[in-house]
């Protein structure tokens, strides 16, 4: 598995589970080159969904398990933002925090 460097990423979240979900997005985004856009978009959504579901399985985070629709909604909200990945993750985590209580 390819290691993603975070030394210069000013948008990388500093708290969990946001950081782990963001890292999953970045790891998948690093594979974009040479893939059709529909393939890499879906792969990134799948990676974010899996990482968020893994976080939801950790009782210390107190999160509901997200659906793909929640992932897509958060992604749509973040589109066009300079901090796209960070915003995508933070909106998703806020959504599943709200839905967990």
Give residue-wise pLDDT tens across range 71-92.
999 999 999 999 999 999 999 9
pLDDT value, residue 8:
80
Confidence of residue 98 (pLDDT cuts 50, 70, 90): low
More confident site: 34 or 1: 34
Residues 70, 92: contact at Cβ < 8 Å? yes
* φ and ψ at residue 8, rounded to 5 degrees: -110, 10
Supply the mean pLDDT for the chain. 92
d(Cα 31, Cα 100) in Å, to the nearest integer? 32
Tell whether the model's pLDDT for residue 65 goes beyond 90. Answer: yes
């Amino acid at each position: 598995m390819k290691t993603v460097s975070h030394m210069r990423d000013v948008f990388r979240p500093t708290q969990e589970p946001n950081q782990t979900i963001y890292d999953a997005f970045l790891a998948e985004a690093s594979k974009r080159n040479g893939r059709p856009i529909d393939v890499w978009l879906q792969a990134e959504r799948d990676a974010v969904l899996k990482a968020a579901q893994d976080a939801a399985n950790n009782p210390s985070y107190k999160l509901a398990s997200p659906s793909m629709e929640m992932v897509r909604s958060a992604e749509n909200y973040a589109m066009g933002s300079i901090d796209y990945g960070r915003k995508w993750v933070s909106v998703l985590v806020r959504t599943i925090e709200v839905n967990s209580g």
